[in-house]
Amino acid sequence: MTLGVEVISSREDPFGQARAARGLPLLLHSMSVFREMFALVFAHHRIDTVVEVGVESGQVSSLYTDFGASAVHCVDPKPSDALRATLARNPKLHLVERPSPAVLAELPIADLYVLDGDHNYNIVYNELRWIMKNAPDAVVALHDVLWPCSRRDLYYQPSSVAPEDTHESTDEGSTVWHDETTPAGFVGGGAFTIAKQAGGERNGVLTAVEDAVAEGGGDWLLEIVPAVFGMGVVARKGSPGTEALMKALEPYTSSKLLATLENNRIALYTRVLQQQYEMVGYADDADRLAETINNQRHELDRLRAELDEAHGRNAALDQENRRLRSGLPPEPANGVGPALAQLGRVAAAQVRKSRH
């Protein structure tokens, strides 16, 4: 067998696969997982120069140099300090801090274009049409040609797409379990919005690729690897290596197994998103309930104090009522009663003495 420990563990180490599994992010999204596909591209096409639009962490950029590229132009208009540091460690990687597709004309013509930047019709269509016109023998690899961006635009914020080229968007997200958007879906958290409605014309990455290929007059091929949001491969018929490359990719592009696993993956992931959203809602409800209970406890303590005070007043009134009913004069406050009683006794003694 050629499978590694990531798939099959050993008798001596039965947890190898589990360790590999828990070392992966919950949501696989990087193009680095398509390493095998890129290996086939380099095996069937002479790839010297690469233009990569959307650089992620720089991990994928180094992959191209591992396969033999001598120069990779990494297009990222807003690179982080971490990305700068990563690219600086490899002299074959060249950071380009200008947006695509306008920047493509400023760069050397490449043998491989990797498009993983803005996932909307306008940007992808214009990127691909420029490449098809100006680099007809290049191979183009595109990410996110399947759910959720296949038939629904995504706009990174702030968006560089002109308002007239966008659809009405929302900060809610997609989910496998609802056709409409929902706050329980795959949301951008302020990083991006998505088209409120899916489908129709000029909407989504795959729609853009299909339109660009169709306008190529039947000279271009599109194949899709149905995994990790979908990798599309576009190449011109008759270009050196194209036919052999598409044949080599066929086990992946025609795999019903991969397609089924991808559908199951996004179904499970969006179910997790829904449950997380519901859990947050339950937690908020619990917090509100706890606050209500705390306020009610304070109110009960206040009412209990008032009740105790009222009981004290009632006891004093009850005592006074019993005294009045017994015919005794009211007892003066502040100790005056005992003093008057003493004066009365002294006066009575003086009267008795005078009589004698």
For residue 126, being part of any structural domain is answered with yes
Give the pLDDT confidence score for residue 284 in this predicted structure. Answer: 76
For residue 15, being part of any structural domain is answered with no
Strands, E, within 76-161: which ranges? Answer: 93-96, 112-115, 139-143, 154-156
Name beta bridge partners: 51. Answer: 73, 113
For residue 189, being part of any structural domain is answered with no
Give the pLDDT confidence score for residue 347 in this predicted structure. Answer: 58
CB 255 within 8 Å of CB 58 = no
Which class for 223: exposed (0-12), middle (13-18), buried (19 or more C-beta within 10 A)? middle
Output Rg (C-alpha) for the chain, integer angstroms: 40
Give the pLDDT confidence score for residue 127 in this predicted structure. Answer: 98
For residue 36, being part of any structural domain is answered with yes
CATH number for the domain that contains residue 131: 3.40.50.150
Instruction: Please state the domain count of the chain.
Output: 1
Amino acid (one-letter) located at 343: L
Give the pLDDT confidence score for residue 195 in this predicted structure. Answer: 98
| Containing structural domain, residue 266 | 21-150+199-281
For residue 310, being part of any structural domain is answered with no
For residue 120, being part of any structural domain is answered with yes
Mean pLDDT per 10-residue segment, the chain (356 residues): 65 90 88 96 97 92 96 96 95 96 97 97 98 98 98 95 96 95 94 97 98 95 98 96 97 98 96 91 80 87 88 87 76 56 59 56
CA–CA distance, 350 with 348 (Å, rounded to integer)? 5
Give the pLDDT confidence score for residue 198 in this predicted structure. Answer: 97
For residue 160, being part of any structural domain is answered with no
Give the pLDDT confidence score for residue 215 in this predicted structure. Answer: 96
For residue 94, being part of any structural domain is answered with yes
